[in-house]
Every structure is written in C-alpha cells, then in structure tokens.
Amino acid sequence: MKREPIDEILATEEELIPSSGFLPSVMERVQEAAAAPPPIPFPWLRAVPGMVVAAVVLGGGAVELVRLAIPAMKGLALNPPHLSAAVAQPLEQAGWVALALAASLLSWLLSRRLAGSSGL
C-alpha cells in the first residue's frame, strides 16, 4: 500500500506510558469485583404466578372494556349527547380548577429551575 502524508502522520504517533498507579488501580477494581457477592438472581419462581394473574386480569379487563364500549359507541353515534346546564356548569368550573393547578405546577417548576441554576 502506498503511504500518503496522512498515513505518515497518523502512523507516527507518540506512545503514552501508563501512569504508575494504573496497574494497582485496575487490580483494586478487579479485587473489589471479585469480592462482591454475586448478583441476586431474579425470583422467577415467585414472580411468574403474580405475572400470570396480572396478565389474566388485565387481558380480561381489556376484553370486557371493548365488549362494553362497542354498543356504547354505537349508541353515541346514533344519539349525540346534549349536556344540560346543570352538568355543563360544574364541568366549566372543573376546567378552571385544572387550569389553576397547571399554572401552579408551571410556576413551581420554573422556580425550581431558577433556584437550581443559581445554586440556591
């Protein structure tokens, strides 16, 4: 292969010598790792029954939800809901409450950020 100037420069690099503390510090980390207790294996035997039960419950719930939702959606498509004034007013108030909560959360986040950046 023909050596180009790039080859000359990249191939002639000064070698670094490891510091005197390098070998001891590697061996210290290795000794620490060797002395550490082996990681606790995941308790599959205990977890599997719980996971199966959770999967059955979630799966059953999802099936039931879909089963109930289909007729409800059909009904909604045929008769669109009309909210009465008695229902609409609390909903409006809930909206204002949600907005106030969101504003509080935002100002709390902002103050935390400002305090964080100034080191307080």
Partner 1 sequence: MNATPKNAADDLADVERVLAGDVRAFEGIVRRWQGSLLNMAWRYCRDRERAEEMAQEAFLRAWRGLGQWRRDGSFSTWLFALAANVFRSELKRFPTVTVPLEAAPEPSGAASQLNALQERSLHDVLRRAVLALPLRYREPVILFYFHEMDVAQAAATLRMPEGTLKARLSRARALLRRRFPHLEAEQAAMAFCRKTEKEA
What residues line the site for partner 1 (CB under 8 A)? Answer: 1, 4-11, 13, 15-19, 22-23, 25-27, 29-31, 33-34
What are the DSSP E strand ranges found in 5-104?
Answer: none
Q: Least CB distance from residue 43 to partner 1, whole Å?
A: 23
Q: Least CB distance from residue 14 to partner 1, whole Å?
A: 9
* Distance between CA atoms of residues 45 and 43, nearest Å: 6
Q: Least CB distance from residue 11 to partner 1, whole Å?
A: 5
Judged by beta carbon, residue 6 or residue 45, the one nearer partner 1 is 6
Judged by beta carbon, residue 17 or residue 91, the one nearer partner 1 is 17
Cα separations in angstroms, 22 against 2, 17, 19, 28, 29? 38, 10, 5, 10, 11
- Residue 83: which residues within 8 A CB-CB, separation 6 or more? 91
Judged by beta carbon, residue 16 or residue 72, the one nearer partner 1 is 16
